[in-house]
A and B are shown apart, each in its own frame.
Chain A
Amino acid sequence: MEQSAVLRKPSFAETLRGDTWWIEPLLVLMGLSAFIIYATWAAFQANHYFAISYLSPFYSPVIYTDTSVVGSAPVWHALLGTWPEWWPSFLPASPAFLILVFPGLFRFTCYYYRGAYYKAFAATPPACAVSGIPQKNYQGETFLLIFQNLHRYALYAAIVYLFILAADSIAAYFYQGQLGIGVGSVVLSMNPVLLGAYTLGCHSFRHLIGGRKDCFSCAGAGPLKNGVYQKVSWLNRNHKLFAWMSLFWVGISDAYVRLVSMGIITDLNTWGL
């Protein structure tokens, strides 16, 4: 009898699925690629990341600033002052280079994104019940990808960023000490909200705040712990949603600040600027 596909080891992308299984991995591929390309481009610009009192999240916190650059942060906004002389001349003086690695690592090692980009970029597998690229000795996350286990350290950095972006959003309501509001204030305020919903719904955070326990009612745990665990579990159930919303919004925020700084759009605000 003929060896049908049911019995033999399948070849790449072989499936009996007749639905549009390829749409989701294609959307992930396009969405993540678009973000990576835009974020890299924005980081290399090294300018127009500050306008009125709005700081682009791609450049926050500002470690050093080069005030000679148009659209740069003022010196008081930089944690360590003006741009250092030791910086290699072949690289643009971009504050983004100093900080983007941390949120980048958090997303790269995130359990949701891992599953999504393994499908979209590595085709292991391209979709459920669709065969992946045949490998002689598939090792999952046990060999080269073992570093994914350090996700919780990226989480710690991401929690620090939540406070920094919250401070940026508060600062966006003050221009030269005067309280006010602009479209940019609202745009930047959405960042800590969406990133908070994403970060605090992280699987590692859920583990650390209660998931590692077998007993919530035992001494030392208490009802508060279970209550927090249940709320984090709700965020975790919506982790994919908040992952994409927060990713999309940091890109929108940078684009908004950049366009205001370049004078292409005018920010509607109460400061009359």
Chain B
Amino acid sequence: MKRLFKLWRGDSTGGDFKEYETDVTEGMVVLDAIHKIQAEQANDLAVRWNCKAGKCGSCSVEINGVPKLACMTRMNEFQEDQTITVNPMKTFPVIRDLVTDVSWNYEQNKKIKPLKPRPRDADGEYRMMQEDVDRVQEFRKCIECYLCQDTCHVLRDQQQKDKFVGPRFMIRLASLEMHPLDTEDRIPEIRDEYGSGMCNITKCCTVVCPEHIQITDNGIIPLKERVVDRYYDPVLWLWRKITGNKN
């Protein structure tokens, strides 16, 4: 069956959508169709991909305006007469066609203090109970596709990249802060440098996450609550003054 695609073509200086028509067969995903167009009609089309299994996070694009992995978006999700529009992630600078420069994310990652584990047990081992690691294991599912960063309006529309590290790195911070072995204190940076207060909880990051991580409910809001414990709770503030307990 013939399907009409509108793929964004261009680079950092400008560009626009170009129409392509191609045959789509049963079981194809959007990335398959893009590859077919690339092979038959647009050999110079740039598209980033790797595993084709939803695990490498490389083929993040926007399909009909929604941030998605091209390899996990099946063609039968669309109406038969529907035009499929594919553009690069809007939050990041375009390199060419559907490929963006996501290196800003790597810079955010470098800012985060790494795990600082407590001393080992007497026998030289670290021990953690499953119930204690269940929570942080959810965050370890992240494949760093940056779809959550792309859809976050603080980065995308308000362009506040200097004030907020974005949902991906709030999740990384949550995985460290809630780690049962960790002893590092990142709460001051979570409020001031990483910008937990910039998030207004619209949950768009959770909606687009291909790993179905509950980014807002299990990561960002719990971090906001820890910031409240430290800075905004007058009773806890008074309690710390009386007891001398810093945390």
Contacts and interface: CB of A to CB of B under 8 A. Distances in A.
Interface in A7-49: 7, 9-10, 15-19
A4 interface: yes
A214 B179 contact: yes
A82 interface: no
B200 A118 contact: yes
A217 B197 contact: no
- Which applies to chain B's interface (DSSP): helix, strand, loop or mixed? mixed
A172 B195 CA distance: 49
Interface string B204-217: 10011000001011
B65 A217 contact: no
A16 B202 contact: no
Nearest to A239: B217
A111 B221 contact: yes
B8 interface: yes
A236 B216 CA distance: 12
Interface string B78-98: 000010010110100010000
Contacts of B4: none
Given A4-B8, A214-B178, A131 B197 contact: no
Interface residues of B, number: 61
A74 interface: no
Contact of A140 (B65, B154, B225): B154
Given A18-B65, A140-B154, A140-B164, A217 B200 contact: no
Interface in B31-69: 62, 64-67
B71 to A, nearest CB: 19
Given A118-B202, A217-B129, 12 more contacts: A2-B14, A19-B66, A111-B201, A115-B200, A115-B216, A124-B200, A129-B65, A132-B157, A140-B200, A212-B226, A214-B179, A218-B132
